[in-house]
Structure 1
Amino acid sequence: MVELHGCTEPRLWTKPLRELSEESSLGYEVIDYAEHVLHVSLRPWQRWLLIHMLELREDGSYRFSKVIILVARQNGKTTLGAVLADWWLHVDSRRHPDRVPPVEFLIVGVSQSLDNAREPWDRVVTWCNPLPRSMAEQQLVIPALQEHTLPISFTNGKEHITADNLASYEIRAVKSARGKPAARVLMDELREQKTFDGWNAVEPTTSSFWSGMLVCLSNAGDATSVVLQKQRDAALTQIDEFEQNVGAGLMTPAEYALQRPEMCDTGLFEWSAPDGCALDDEAAIRQSNPSIGFGGKSVASVRSKIQGMTEAGYRTEYLCQWVTADVEPPFPQPAWLAGVDPDSHRAEGAPTYWGVDTSADRGYSTIAVVSKRDDGNWHGEIVARRPGIDWLIRWFRERPAKHYRVAFQGRGAPVSSVAELLHNLPNVETVPVTGPDVAASFGRMWDAVSACEPGAKSDSLKLFHRPSPVLDDAAKMSATRKLGDGAWGLDRQKSLVDAAPLIALGMALWLAENEGRQSSKLYPSAYAGRSTGLLMV
């Protein structure tokens, strides 16, 4: 019988800006260090991750200032964190003394509780403790590291390991994480942070350092994991944007990095099962448990957990899937998944219809487009999603050669405030969507999505899209609200993720299906003296 192994490559991940080699990634060095100094044999997924997460820029700094790693329980996150922390302390702290003096090179291990932060720290202690406290510790210690480590402080709340160059590794609980700047932060179980207090205290600490890095290790979250949701969402946006530009062949990776540096600094590496999978699906279990076959973990041992756990608990812990029980998905999930088509594209010469929307907190804005496919059905995609709202004007203004018809919610939405500015662009016709048409935009999208479900009996055209983490997440975790008279719409405030990509797509589809709708260009007086609360005319 062939032994099954977990998947080395994650399901969702940030692509490199250049070919990864010993010159362009320090991951190779960490792997060698683990094997020959720490005598730790890393698993294939851990080696793959180190190579990709420690990608370098041309100047020798890390590409990623922030790394989010998501993987199911008991797959070796603690070992990975310990190897990385020890290498930071004893090797990386000596690399650029002119830019980051070792005495200022602080590594902070943070978790919701001090005990969790202590787990990788304890592992590092066993490798480098110059004063072992027992014969057992003496047998585990590595003499080459002992020689370069000062006496360790075990005082509760003040634990720290200091190398002979005065670089140090401290651990803290999130609630007491605010402190001096840190060159490296290792944050465990990000899913447990229910407020932004700890994150806001820790995240800025690496920003003052050249090549600073914050690494977050976690399992999937749920409705309360607001911090992890926010960081994952931002990383997915960067993945989508990269695919739309580099993946589509519009830019080379080097050109993209030069023009969009702010969209290249967060790495997401997520080993998770695909949405809608069965609990016992072998491929899904292997995708979310990359250590299967490299120790005691097997597909059978994971399957054995199904009967003793709730479905929500099993999906979170062993499939690394987000539990969204608090929100009913806005569309039938089999229908949405059936509409994912990696080869979907716009028919040559087909008219394009555009939609824009902004998240409830104005954190991100999205541009979507809909057009006909060769088979006569609809193709939809997210063209751009970036922080803030003002960039929408720049995006359309910088593309004067193309003519755009753009739909947006005309009243009571954050995006409404930029309507007049869009209206004033010579290459844009704006179509505010108000009143019953807001509900109609969601209803028409629901029909087009539902028509994709195998066996569905519907006269509606189908809506297809290429795989898009931002859009697919919104289709799974956006909330709905009743708008009156049996009509429904999407609720930005109560959604677990940013619903704007879905709303923008719905606006574009509504415009496509109302092709003869008159635009506001014909009625400039409707905008006189207004920047919000626009009327449908």
Structure 2
Amino acid sequence: MTSQHGVRLGAQTPRVGRWPDYVSSAGAEVIELAESAGLILDPWQQFVLTHGLGEQRDGRWSAFKVSCWVPRQNGKGGIIEARELGGLFLLGEQLILHSAHEYKTAQEGFLRIKGLIEGTPDLDRRVNRYWQANGEQGVELTRAAGGGRLRFIARSKGSGRGFSGDCNILDEGQELTGAQMAALLPTMSARPNPQLWFFGTPPDDPAAWAYGLREDGEAGTPRMAHFDWGADLDLTNPEDRRRALVDRDLWYACNPALGRRITEDFVTDEAKPSGLGDRFAVERLGVWPPRAADGPSVLDLAAWEALADPESRRTGAVAFAIDITPSRDWACITVYGLRTDGLGHAEVIDRRPGTDWLVERLVQLTERWRPVAIGLDLKGPAGSLLVDLEKAGIVRPDDPDRPARGQLAIPGAQDVAAACGQLADAVTQGTLRHIGQDVLTEAIRGAKTRPLGDAWGWGRRISSVDISPLVAVTLARWAYETRAHLVTTDYDPLANIF
């Protein structure tokens, strides 16, 4: 471990450090600028900036993505502030977008950078305005100073979709979703020299999108710099969990600010049962919990495409289902029923941005087609619509054994697993057809699965695309199969136009 004046200090280099080759670095100038604003960076913070701001011969960044993972309170905010100061006042970036999972985190970042600039007259005179309104804060330079902007937002539905930033700072990166990244990345594609910075701590969700980022970083993916101070421990191993609590060398290896901003006595208290308890290894040592497995292979795309029949039509009873993306920027309604030859028919009948249209549309469909059931997964994003659906007359059955048409079919965890397995079997066995819709094909192409006990379910957050059409088709099929034989068959529409 590093020592200074006889005081033991935490490791100033990470356990995992990967970065692409570069011929020069803007790090030294950014570090010097930060120092002029009173922000004195630790060696480890300078290390990340130096390698993260490496430049190729043509002047472009050698790393498009920079990923930094370090336990809380070690000082990652200092790296963020230095990078933002550099982008505004040194690198000529026109838009820097700083986002966090929570509003209070984004607001704190704004207040800290504002304080640094206001406390440095040479920088403050270049500012045209600071603003803080409507859940957003920012800094805008004068036209003479380049007119660059730094915006702070909390990530939510649509946040960042319309911004084409030169640099995006993604704080609380453990909370990022695949849908959010899908909204963000295309906005940077037209920028001449963009850069993404990720900062975070290990996620609570074992299926979090950040696991894929970490996998790329540890593999040394081209155009990516990755720094992780977290310990390489297996939380399922009792010996590793015991070691985390007692190995002080490990404490210093994982916390670069230990001996500076964090004291050993404080960490000792955290290691006690009355401290962080079982969370000590994750929170203080940055240990990543086991990742949720991808489960069995996703649906075979070739098998799915072989079942396409553009002329397919169902007849008789139907079931509907709805699903919403985790970011709530898209939603869809699907239908499932049988054809005259007895094969199943699956179809997406409505898909639009947002969620405000869903209830009204579902009411219209229910009144017209009197479905045997409407599938709704309460544990998924669409579960939030339950109250609105019930107010609109789409309710749960009083007696599950005697449901009526147009009522909700709500699966439990075992039902979700069964529904996914049954759809996979139907595709393998060729017992259903679809009309070849691109939204379903793309969902199947990018879908991944998550464990559900000994079975599996679709993994919304870890999939690389919007899989709500696939989730809803799976649920519609399950709703039909579990309800069609329980309701009366006194209604048999022949049309298939929704």
Coarse TM-score class (shorter-chain normalised): 0.5 to 0.7
Cα separation, partners in 2 of 1:69 and 1:162, compared to 1, 3 Å = same
Q: Is 1:78–2:61 an aligned residue pair? A: no
Retained in 1: the 8 A contact 2:100–2:153? yes
| Secondary structure, aligned partner of 2:245 | coil
Cα separation, partners in 2 of 1:481 and 1:62, compared to 1, 3 Å = same
Cα separation, partners in 2 of 1:225 and 1:160, compared to 1, 3 Å = farther
Q: Is 1:285–2:242 an aligned residue pair? A: no
Q: What amino acid does structure 1 have at the position aligned with 2:26?
A: L
Q: Is 1:320–2:286 an aligned residue pair? A: yes
Q: Distance in 2 between matches of 1:319 and 1:68?
A: 17
**1:79 shift after superposition:** 2.0
**Per-residue CA distance 1:189-237 (angstroms, 9 max, x = gap):** 11123x4232222233322212200101101123345121121122223
Match of 2:113 among 83, 101, 124: 124
**1:177 shift after superposition:** 2.9
**1:182 shift after superposition:** 0.6
Which residue does 2:264 correspond to in 1?
299
Greater displacement, 68-77 / 226-235: 226-235
| Secondary structure, aligned partner of 2:170 | strand
Which residue does 1:7 correspond to in 2?
11
| Secondary structure, aligned partner of 2:58 | coil
Which residue does 1:34 correspond to in 2?
34
Identity %: 23
Which residue does 1:150 correspond to in 2?
128
**Per-residue CA distance 1:237-276 (angstroms, 9 max, x = gap):** 3x2xxxxxxxxxxxxxxxxxxxxxxx41121100112213
Cα separation, partners in 2 of 1:268 and 1:144, compared to 1, 3 Å = same
| Contiguous gaps of at least 5 residues in structure 1 | 94-101, 130-140, 240-262, 328-357, 364-411, 413-477, 484-490, 499-537
**1:322 shift after superposition:** 1.4
Q: Distance in 1 between matches of 2:208 and 2:61?
A: 27
Which residue does 1:229 correspond to in 2?
211
**1:480 shift after superposition:** 11
Retained in 2: the 8 A contact 1:6–1:291? yes
Q: Distance in 2 between matches of 1:6 and 1:310?
A: 20
Match of 1:17 among 21, 24, 41: 21
**1:2 shift after superposition:** 3.9
**Aligned positions of 1:132-171 closer than 5 A:** 141-164=119-142, 165-171=146-152
Retained in 2: the 8 A contact 1:148–1:163? yes
| Secondary structure, aligned partner of 1:304 | helix
Match of 2:180 among 198, 202, 213: 198
Which residue does 1:438 correspond to in 2?
none
Q: Distance in 1 between matches of 2:153 and 2:67?
A: 19
**Per-residue CA distance 1:438-476 (angstroms, 9 max, x = gap):** xxxxxxxxxxxxxxxxxxxxxxxxxxxxxxxxxxxxxxx
Q: Distance in 1 between matches of 2:298 and 2:63?
A: 28
Q: Distance in 1 between matches of 2:41 and 2:286?
A: 21
Q: What amino acid does structure 1 have at the position aligned with 2:150?
A: Y
| Secondary structure, aligned partner of 2:249 | helix
Q: Distance in 2 between matches of 1:292 and 1:309?
A: 17
Which residue does 1:272 correspond to in 2?
230
Misfit runs of 4+, over 4 Å: 358-363, 478-483, 491-494
Retained in 2: the 8 A contact 1:191–1:221? yes
Cα separation, partners in 2 of 1:233 and 1:121, compared to 1, 3 Å = same
Which residue does 1:335 correspond to in 2?
none
Retained in 2: the 8 A contact 1:79–1:120? no
Retained in 2: the 8 A contact 1:199–1:227? no
**1:303 shift after superposition:** 2.0
Q: Distance in 2 between matches of 1:38 and 1:225?
A: 40
Count how many residue pairs are aligned between Structure 1 and Structure 2: 298
Retained in 2: the 8 A contact 1:68–1:267? yes
Q: What amino acid does structure 2 have at the position aligned with 1:299?
A: E
Q: What amino acid does structure 2 have at the position aligned with 1:169?
A: L
Q: What amino acid does structure 1 have at the position aligned with 2:40?
A: S
Q: Distance in 1 between matches of 2:107 and 2:7?
A: 34
Q: Distance in 2 between matches of 1:205 and 1:219?
A: 26
| Secondary structure, aligned partner of 2:25 | coil
Which residue does 1:134 correspond to in 2?
none
Cα separation, partners in 2 of 1:155 and 1:16, compared to 1, 3 Å = same
**Per-residue CA distance 1:411-447 (angstroms, 9 max, x = gap):** x9xxxxxxxxxxxxxxxxxxxxxxxxxxxxxxxxxxx
**1:66 shift after superposition:** 0.9
Cα separation, partners in 2 of 1:200 and 1:298, compared to 1, 3 Å = same
Q: What amino acid does structure 2 have at the position aligned with 1:154?
A: Q
Q: Is 1:209–2:229 an aligned residue pair? A: no
Q: What amino acid does structure 1 have at the position aligned with 2:107?
A: R
TM-score, with normalisation over the residues of structure 2?
A: 0.54
Retained in 2: the 8 A contact 1:85–1:107? yes
**Aligned positions of 1:84-483 closer than 5 A:** 84-93=83-92, 105-129=94-118, 141-164=119-142, 165-175=146-156, 176-193=159-176, 195-224=177-206, 226-237=208-219, 239=220, 263-275=221-233, 276=240, 277-295=243-261, 297-307=262-272, 308-324=274-290
TM-score, with normalisation over the residues of structure 1?
A: 0.50
Q: Distance in 2 between matches of 1:316 and 1:202?
A: 28
Q: Distance in 1 between matches of 2:174 and 2:200?
A: 6
Q: Distance in 1 between matches of 2:113 and 2:76?
A: 14
Q: Distance in 2 between matches of 1:152 and 1:317?
A: 34
Q: Distance in 2 between matches of 1:184 and 1:326?
A: 31
